[in-house]
A and B are shown apart, each in its own frame.
Chain A
Amino acid sequence: DSGVTQTPKHLITATGQRVTLRCSPRSGDLSVYWYQQSLDQGLQFLIQYYNGEERAKGNILERFSAQQFPDLHSELNLSSLELGDSALYFCASSVARGDGEAFFGQGTRLTVV
């Protein structure tokens, strides 16, 4: 158990809909990262928050957004969903600025039908 909790574990939704994925980092970790894992794109970095502020942005679509709340949990919002958004979405956390060592949750498997 990494200490990072992601909910829900599975999500099935229709095209055009909006969903919210939730992540609770390990106790004491200030950084939260979101990654997308798909068969065609592999593991891709989406976005990072540190203590409530956005710190780095990767290949995140404009239809996607995220935030980190004062209690340090984070949410990833995916809107106007398309079939191609079906993937495993991971949240990871690290203590501070991060040297790349991160603790990953078990992921949320999103299926868009």
Chain B
Amino acid sequence: AQSVTQLDSQVPVFEEAPVELRCNYSSSVSVYLFWYVQYPNQGLQLLLKYLSGSTLVKGINGFEAEFNKSQTSFHLRKPSVHISDTAEYFCAVTPKGSWGKLQFGAGTQVVVTP
């Protein structure tokens, strides 16, 4: 079984400041890791994914994440946020070789203010 813990339920941040969203996971098998974003009144959109290879993954909209196997973490970062980054961010895992069903964390609400 897998579990995903997002350590912050809400992160307020000023425009043009950096942001980091923390995600830890536990699993008895190897997993793929994801960050999805949900803008208000919309569905989820994939930001980035880690399947294998380089532990630093770059995604859309200037986001990047680093996979740390020893700490079982997959933290998301952006060096400079915009108002439009206000959204809820979900970390998710799926076991390798499974049929792609996602186990989500509880989400982190990012509120960007001028």
Contacts and interface: CB of A to CB of B under 8 A. Distances in A.
B7 to A, nearest CB: 15
A106 B42 CA distance: 5
Interface string B88-105: 001011100011111111
B101 A99 contact: no
Interface residues of B, number: 25
Contacts, number: 71
Q: Which label, helix, strand, loop or mixed, suits the secondary structure of the A interface?
A: strand
B102 A106 contact: no
Nearest to A50: B99
Contacts of B32: 99-100
Interface residues of A, number: 28
A45 B99 CA distance: 12
B107 A2 contact: no
Given A45-B102, A99-B51, A99-B100, 4 more contacts: A2-B45, A48-B99, A48-B100, A56-B101
